Amino acid sequence: MSKIYVTASQKKDEDYFNEIIKLLAIEALLDRYPSHLSGGEKQRVAIGRALLSKPNILLMDEPLASLDTPRKRELMPFLEALSNQVDIPILYVTHSQNEILRLAQHLVVIDEGRVVESDIIERVWASKLMQSWQSFSDKSALFKGTVLEQNDTYGLTKVALTPEHYLWVQHTNADVGEHVRLRVRASDVSISLNRAEKTSIRNILPCVVKSISLGGKGTPRQSVEVVLSLDEERELVATVTQWAIDDLSLKEGQKVYAQIKGVSVSQKDVALEPHL
């Protein structure tokens, strides 16, 4: 009987093949025809084929755009694993802020074929350029945080933003000590002159009014954007009415309290920090 010898190179290729199959969970799909695959399954197989060619860089041009919501939810965890576990630079093209939140480390903004902004995601997200492209409901602040506690009784997760500031958010699948990225929408932030007592609001953060400006949507009397500084590097954004501005006599430099419901920051607003 003749022997079959496997070289070190072949063994390495086989190990890499098995690694990709496991990463994308496509072992059960290998013997199926493409016509029998769902949209999400086809995308996973396509990504696997691309990775098996061992490219120097992986270009993904809106891979979720053609999928319905259930298929997007199906594929997103695999994309997150891909960005964390595969040692290949990924150039990911998207118009989705949710995909940016979940996947990006460095954000490049292109307008009419020109690069108009390029930096780490937190800086670009907070820039005036990015804010000007966000709709009223999309206005938000982005934070890096560390999981401090999991409260299983109430289904909440405690996340430290700074040594003095933390947020209770809806339960997220992260271990204590893990780094996460979270989004706080401007429409979910209210402002108080005093620290409220006996309130249902779980998050009350001391801050300082940095700027007050008219919002991009509605008439000047309807929407006002207030930037609130937590410290020298971290800022919240609140969208309130001009009536609220007048009633509270808000002005720049004033010390106030930002109030955020614990249920307002949901699982879709929290993601594990991608590994560099």
Q: Cα(189)–Cα(211) distance, rounded to whole angstroms?
A: 15
- Please give the residue that has the higher pLDDT: either 13 or 227: 227
Q: What does the pLDDT read at residue 275?
A: 59
**Residue 244: both structure tokens together:** 């609220």
pLDDT band at 158, cuts 50/70/90?
very high
Model confidence pLDDT, tens digit, residues 183-215: 999 999 999 999 988 899 999 999 999 999 875
pLDDT at 5: 42
Give every CB contact of residue 237 below 8 A, 6+ residues apart in sequence: 131, 139, 140, 141, 184, 186, 189, 225, 226, 227, 228
| pLDDT of 175 | 92
The CA distance from 128 to 119, in Å, is 14
Identify the pLDDT of residue 118: 92
pTM over 0.75: yes
Q: Is the Cα dihedral 179, 19, 25, 61 positive or negative? A: positive
Q: Are 203 and 167 in contact (CB under 8 A)?
A: yes
Domains recognised in the chain with CATH numbers: 8-104 (3.40.50.300), 140-268 (2.40.50.100)
Q: Determine the Cα–Cα distance for residues 209 and 221; give it in Å rounded to an integer.
A: 19
Whether residue 246 has pLDDT greater than 70: yes
Percentage of the residues of the chain whose pLDDT score is greater than 90:
41
Q: Is residue 229 a contact partner of residue 256, using CB atoms and an 8 Å limit?
A: no
Higher pLDDT, 30 or 147: 147
In the chain, where does DSSP find H-type helix?
8-24, 39-52, 69-85, 97-103, 121-126, 128-133, 242-248
Question: Average pLDDT over the chain, rounded to whole?
Answer: 86
Pairing state of beta strands 203-214 and 156-160? unpaired
